Structure 1
Amino acid sequence: MKTLINRFMADESGATAIEYGLIAALIAVAAITAMQSLGSELSTTFNTVDSALSEGNQAA
């Protein structure tokens, strides 16, 4: 029984899968954060362009 417990404690095959899962989750959080920031910057840029085009069409 003690041998079985020692073998179980030494087995690290599940730890690798958990580490890969944590790395994937960290990458996903970083990507979502970057995309949200980029999305709001793009929204501001498109609104500025839309306003400039609207003013240009009204003046013509």
Structure 2
Amino acid sequence: MVTLFQTLHTLSYVAVDHVADRVRALKDEEKGASAVEYAIVVGLIAAVLVGVVVAFGNRLAARFNAIIP
């Protein structure tokens, strides 16, 4: 079990380090800034959609079931 934990810890460290390197590389590029801005907008839209589905999920399901029996 300890070996599994150590392996997962190492893999997570490598993944975070890789992502941090990519963010640092994109930080200085204008294209990277635009990509990050678009990613933030897409993330916010996805969060709003998830919130709407959670808030109105049962009503939406009832409507779809009424339309498509």
TM-score by length of 2: 0.42
State the structure with more CA Rg. 1
Q: Which has the higher contact order (CA 8 A, sep 6+)?
A: 2
TM-score (normalised: structure 1) = 0.47
